[in-house]
Amino acid sequence: MDSGWVKLHRKITDSRVFQNDGLFKVWIWCLCRASHKKEWVILKTGKGNIEVEVEPGQFVFGRNSASKNLRMPPSSIRNRMEKLKNIGNLDIKQDNQYSLITIINWHTYQVIENKEDRKEDKQRTGKGQAKDTYKNDKNDIKHIVEFMNSILETEYKTTTAKTNQLIHARLNEGFTVENFKTVILKKHKEWRYNPDMVKFLRPETLFGVKFESYLNQHENNPEKEKLKKIQTAIEYLTEKEVERKSV
């Protein structure tokens, strides 16, 4: 009976059982002793071993073993078990060899939360996750804006609502801080010496709807372009030479 769990409602603190320390201890012990599934229990008796079938919410009770577990006199345990029965918390079926205890309304101590409970827990979890996400985004926004200012030599604030909104939107789409750095570096390299485009080195342009296009834009490499032109010229001259020799 060491595995599994039981569920207690906070209203238990208003119950008659809770007001009596000894009674409450016995009651919690009963809940923990109850079986959570249908099974057969082997008992040792003076006539040998016997098998007892117990249902969920039931357990075989013996005053002496309970006395040892609870560290209470057997008479105190008997009186408290009777009181729990009279209150309506459990039922006792006695036999000349053992007693079978049944927890009344056992399902209420095992049932998974109802829809409202799950909805409330989900809302609490959602709020917690949103709070954590917001905190992470806030740190990322600060890092991105500070990086942008260092590259562009600007003084954009990390608290500006529009800037925060744009970066947050891109982060929600799955883009990373490194993606922002890539866009900033690419566009800075492309526009910094262009008098018509340098003015667009700003958050609303860099982090707007064209962000993904900027991220995947192939950079122009003058050396590569030069080599490509030379290679094209060589191929052209080679073709002409072949044509001349074939004439």
pLDDT confidence bin for 47, thresholds 50/70/90: confident
What is the predicted pLDDT for the residue at 246? 66
Cβ partners under 8 Å of residue 104, min gap 6: 88, 89, 90, 91
pLDDT confidence bin for 192, thresholds 50/70/90: very high
From CA 18, how far away is CA 239, in angstroms rounded? Answer: 100
pLDDT confidence bin for 124, thresholds 50/70/90: low
Question: Hey, what domains does the chain have and what are their CATH numbers?
Answer: 10-109 (1.10.10.10), 115-216 (no CATH)
Contact yes or no for 201/191 (Cβ under 8 A)? yes
What is the predicted pLDDT for the residue at 152? 94
From CA 64, how far away is CA 78, in angstroms rounded? Answer: 10
**For residue range 126-172, what is the model confidence (pLDDT) as tens digits?**
555 555 555 567 889 999 999 999 999 999 999 999 999 999 999 98
What is the predicted pLDDT for the residue at 91? 95
Instruction: Give me the residue label for tokens 């057997």.
Output: 74
pLDDT confidence bin for 14, thresholds 50/70/90: confident
Which of 111-115, 151-155, 240-244 shows the highest mean pLDDT?
151-155
Contact yes or no for 85/23 (Cβ under 8 A)? no
Report the range of poorest mean pLDDT among 12-16, 24-28, 43-47, 69-73. Answer: 43-47
* C-alpha neighbours within 13 Å on the C-beta side of residue 33: 21
What is the predicted pLDDT for the residue at 48? 81
Coil, strand or helix: which one is 46? coil
pLDDT at 75 over 90: yes
Contact yes or no for 68/78 (Cβ under 8 A)? no
What is the predicted pLDDT for the residue at 120? 56
Instruction: Give me the residue label for tokens 């990086």.
Output: 147
From CA 240, how far away is CA 238, in angstroms rounded? Answer: 5
What is the predicted pLDDT for the residue at 1? 53
From CA 199, how far away is CA 211, in angstroms rounded? Answer: 17
